[in-house]
Structure 1
Amino acid sequence: MGIFKRGGQRPEESGPYWKQRSWQASAGFLALVVVLGVIATVTSGSGSRARAEASVSKGPLSGTVAKKDGRPGGCRTDDSAGDAIPTSVPKDITWHTLDIGRVPVSASAGPTRKQGAVWWCFAHTPMGAVLAATDIPTQMSGTQWRTVTDQQVVAGQERELFVFQRTAVPDTTGSGGAATTSSYAGFQVTSYTAKAAAVVLLIKNEQGYAKTTVYVRWSGGDWKIQPDSSGSLYSQLASEQSAVGYTLWGA
């Protein structure tokens, strides 16, 4: 069970499970995969499962990695902000384009290290938590999603459930999916301690704004995504009236 108490129980949905919005979310359409409108059809059969299993590889955050000061070897970040909730974005933010959208990266707050789809080494600060909550889920549509999951999702029954459901979803990297005009607009840090944080991501699209919450936990010397009891890596997408109260990326 996650360390944060989630919202009330979601209403039960009808119809085939693969068409249910909540199942699709739990199956790996998180963050940009759902929010930015990448369209994928859930398929069954051993082919997609074999591709998912074949994509697992040893990543930089494996247990054998040497650590210094509780952080993975080679990881350095600017943690001078402490527990202060950010009211502006770092001046060194740059935007990197992935197959399904653009994500923010900070030279000081992270991710400062990259190995394949594993973008890691986030500052042990609220800003580091924001960047982890934004960047890590974005990698879940590609062929290396299992490696990202093993390295950057908190281990436990919730992660196993996510993997079980995500295995049934085809990879969208390089698929030339539908174009989208949605983007990350801003964020709120609604809860923060040195061990865990809750980050609300603000999304802008043609209809206006939407929001979703991602929970992260400090584990193994870096921020990792904390799934909920259903295996979902983020809360159900909800509409938002305006950007008031959010820290905006300004991109």
Structure 2
Amino acid sequence: MFTRRQRRTDDSEPYWRQRGWQLSAGFLAVAVVLGGFAALASGGDGRAGAAASPGPLSGALTEDGRPQGCHTDDSAGVTLPKAAPKDIDWRMIGVVRVPVSAAAGPTHDDGTPWWCFAHTATGAVLAAHVITAQMGESGWRTVAAEQLVPGQPRDMFVFRRSTVGDSVSANTTDTSAVSTYVGFSVPSYTGSTARVNLLMRTTQGYAATTVNLRWDKGDWKIVPFSDGSLYAQVQSVQNTRGYLLWEV
């Protein structure tokens, strides 16, 4: 997707300005960076160790192992989807347009974070879109605390994310260059883990990346990579073959 000259330039820049970090970390969400918006490196609060505000996933679990107030249709079990769900609605998180489903989640989207996804492959797909998109917004610390699997990779994400600003959505009305999610695939799903491929259409064609998730404490959480990235390296793709397409 990038030329050798671009990669050499990236290597000489601070990590928050490198396109590889911008595309994979999710601090402005993949759609924003692919759309051409610049990282707001001077806008971060600089508080790598600041505490996250408690969120709805911090409380005790119910008898069925779900967070309080979380109910979803999990009847699909480990069956992989053969098409995108029909009840999809598109909502905005900052400048990122994400799919939501009344059946598969998030069933709670009236605060931070958006949460309660179905314990199905489709639920994991929606979580991959929604959780990453929230990382560009001001409540990202709570999202990271409650919707990323704990460990050193999460700590690395928090440290790096704290050095950059929040979404540019409050400062721009131009969304014409923002990339669009157009499809997905689920190459691996066990019920406790999921690997989700996200397909995007950009001004330069199609691009795809991968998000890993784990079912943890009654909801889907993202498993960051060892360097703190939430996404695998974004790759250009020639067509939509092998992906289930959203009806957009």
Structure 1 length as normaliser, TM-score? 0.87
CA distance in 2, matches of 1:50, 1:247: 40
Query: Aligned to 2:142, what secondary structure does the other structure show?
Result: helix
Q: How does 1:158-169 map to 2 (within 5 A)?
A: 158-169=153-164
- Per the alignment, residue 237 of structure 1 pairs with 234
CA distance in 2, matches of 1:27, 1:222: 20
- Per the alignment, residue 13 of structure 2 pairs with 16
Residues 1:174 and 2:173 are matched in the alignment = no
Query: Aligned to 1:203, what secondary structure does the other structure show?
Result: strand
CA-based RMSD: 2.2
Q: Which residue of 205, 208, 214 maps to 1:211? A: 208
What amino acid maps onto 2:221 in structure 1? K
Residues 1:103 and 2:98 are matched in the alignment = yes
CA distance in 2, matches of 1:110, 1:71: 14
Q: Which residue of 80, 86, 97 maps to 1:85? A: 80
- Per the alignment, residue 128 of structure 1 pairs with 123
Distance 1:27 1:49, change over 3 A: farther
What amino acid maps onto 1:31 in structure 2? V
Query: Aligned to 2:135, what secondary structure does the other structure show?
Result: helix
Residues 1:186 and 2:191 are matched in the alignment = no
Contact 2:49 2:159 in 1 (8 A): no
CA distance in 1, matches of 2:18, 2:195: 25
Distance 1:124 1:32, change over 3 A: same
Query: Aligned to 1:161, what secondary structure does the other structure show?
Result: helix
Query: Aligned to 1:114, what secondary structure does the other structure show?
Result: coil
Distance 1:131 1:204, change over 3 A: same
Q: How far did residue 245 of structure 1 move?
A: 1.2
Q: Which residue of 150, 153, 157 maps to 2:152? A: 157
- Per the alignment, residue 55 of structure 2 pairs with 59
Of the structure 1 ranges 110-119 and 33-42, higher mean CA displacement relative to structure 2 is found in 33-42
Q: How far did residue 162 of structure 1 move?
A: 0.2
Distance 1:105 1:52, change over 3 A: farther
CA distance in 1, matches of 2:215, 2:61: 17
Query: Aligned to 1:68, what secondary structure does the other structure show?
Result: coil
Show structure 1 runs of 5+ residues with no match. Answer: 1-10
Of the structure 1 ranges 142-151 and 95-104, higher mean CA displacement relative to structure 2 is found in 95-104
CA distance in 2, matches of 1:23, 1:91: 34
Q: How far did residue 231 of structure 1 move?
A: 0.5
Show structure 2 runs of 5+ residues with no match. Answer: 1-6
Q: After TM superposition, where is structure 1 displaced by more than 4 Å over at least 4 residues in a row?
A: none
Q: How far did residue 146 of structure 1 move?
A: 0.3
Structure 2 length as normaliser, TM-score? 0.88
CA distance in 2, matches of 1:224, 1:68: 20
CA distance in 1, matches of 2:103, 2:129: 16
Distance 1:136 1:36, change over 3 A: farther
Q: How far did residue 209 of structure 1 move?
A: 0.5
Contact 2:29 2:96 in 1 (8 A): no
The alignment covers a number of residue pairs equal to 237
Q: How far did residue 39 of structure 1 move?
A: 2.5
